[in-house]
Amino acid sequence: MTKTILLADAGYEAAAAALAAEYSDLSVICPGDGADASALASGDVIGLIADTAAVDEALLNALPNLQAVLKLGRSYFNIDVEAVRRRGLSFGCVPRKGPNCVAELAMTLIMALSKDLVVSNDAVALGAYRYRGLKPELTAERKIAFHWMHNTRVHEVVGKTLGIIGMGEIGCELARRASVMGMRNLYYKRSRLSAELEGVFDATYAELDDLLRQSDYVCIATPHTPATERMIGAEQIALMKDSAYIVNIARGGIVDEEAMIAALVEDRIAGAGLDVFTYEPLPADSPLCSLDNVILCPHIGGGSGTNRNIELGAALAEMSRMLAS
């Protein structure tokens, strides 16, 4: 007997069709573009999956035989969790591929900046030890050339403060990773997360100016809209510590690139890790290309690309487990 699963968001029809044979025990229904999930609500539905669609008491009441609710993504800001709990429903979350990939790159850039990795690599590969009057010697357990290039920017991230601008799925995934690394998470978002979600992601809300003043790393993870165009400009950068770093894995236009370059050149901030730029590909004559306190990537944050089949497949596998338990 097939189990009817309602996917509350539009846009998943193709993925559901592609996965139908693999999950033949599940009958996945989802609204078309512009349609509402409530139109598909019935007593046949026993599982509900939602990405960003609102799951409120009205929708839950229209599903009298519902057994489980699953959030596609870890930030369940759109779920009325109290209504779910009052019904005694199983509730779970599964990570999404896209946000995971971008959060991985953000954490990679933070770690690489903390170890001055590009400069360190170049120093070794180019044999820069010669400029320090050193020569290679056979090493042993207690005979090594520790820190032979004396990189002044090398430090540990434990105890450092990460300020995340934009606390959607990417920001939440990044906060989880940073917390494991021993970092303190601050975040800024137009709509503050619930106290429950702040606890889940070990993140504390701060107004933007306070976040900029306190953070050792400022990561931009917000959408590029008219409201966020150049939201990090000269005035905002001036609030940052001279030991702080900018990490941008969102969109280039959110940061005033010229103001950031000026701050980097004048050592008013320590460095930057950038996957996105005002113009892409980054023009070869950009001053960013010649700065040794910047790590550049060719917009690779999305990994191998967003794949709804993979994301929905993970959700259906988890839903099957939830319904079987």
CA 83 to CA 68: how far, in whole Å?
A: 12
Q: Which residues contact 146 (CB under 8 A, 6 or more apart)?
A: none
Is the separation of the CB atoms in 269 and 240 below 8 Å? Answer: yes
Q: Which of 233, 224, 181, 179 is nearest to 204 (CA)?
A: 179
For the sheet with 45-50, list strands across it: 26-29, 3-7, 45-50, 68-72, 90-94
The yes-or-no answer on residue 280 being catalytic is yes
H-run or E-run covering 83: helix 81-86
Task: Give the whole-angstrom CA distance, residue 275 versus residue 5.
Answer: 38
- Which residue of the set 130, 192, 280, 321 is catalytic? 280
Of 213, 230, 299, 318, catalytic? 299
Q: Which of 177, 251, 308, 311 is catalytic?
A: 251
> Which residue is listed with tokens 């280039």?
252
Residue 156: strand pairing partners: none
Q: Whole-angstrom Cα distance, residue 175 to residue 246?
A: 16
DSSP class per residue in 207-227:
-HHHHHHH-SEEEE-S---TT
Report the largest interatomic distance among the alpha carbons of the chain, rounded to a whole angstrom: 79
Beta-sheet pairing, 184-188 with 203-205:
parallel
For CA atoms 109, 110, 113, 117, give the dihedral sign: negative
- Clarify whether 198 is annotated catalytic: no
Residue 147 falls in the annotated catalytic set: no
Which residues does the annotation mark as catalytic? 251, 280, 299
